[in-house]
Amino acid sequence: MPADEDATGALDDLSTWLGRSGEVVTSPARRCRRPSAEVEPLLRPWDLGAWTGRPLAELDLAAWRGDPGYDAHGGESLLVLLARVRHLLDQWHDRQGRLVAVTHAAVIKAAVVNVLRAPPSAIWDLDVHPGSATELHVGPRGWRAVRVNATVVP
């Protein structure tokens, strides 16, 4: 799916997630944008280079899934994606108030893998459904995963 494609439907009301002091941040992709939301470039889709939009049958999936450093497609390797998302989580560690990020499945999966300190290959064992919510909390001991694939209304 191209990164500049509009959303196929309206996003659910996020006010129950925001509380009184919450903010919405979004990927730069049009399908994630929300009125008056801050755009966070690090929430962009996984850059798959020349593979973007191509059928799975044309891709070297065995090499891609077998090597987290694989970047022969000309985009980001899994390791680069994980590092990008880890950097974003580090930036958000001390941020006050609730933050709702509207982004892409791969970015959410990378966040969960980072929070769980799982090996990079764990990303292939996670499913993140479109329109679902993943809830992460941060505290003095770091991040923790609370829910994955929750319905948007908590």
At 102-147, the pLDDT tens digits run 999 999 999 999 999 999 999 999 999 988 889 999 998 899 999 9
- DSSP letters, 59-99, are S-HHHHHH-TT--TTSS--HHHHHHHHHHHHHHHTT--S-E
Specify the pTM. 0.87
CATH architecture assigned to 15-150: 3-Layer(aba) Sandwich (3.40)
Q: Is the pLDDT assigned to residue 1 strictly greater than 50?
A: no
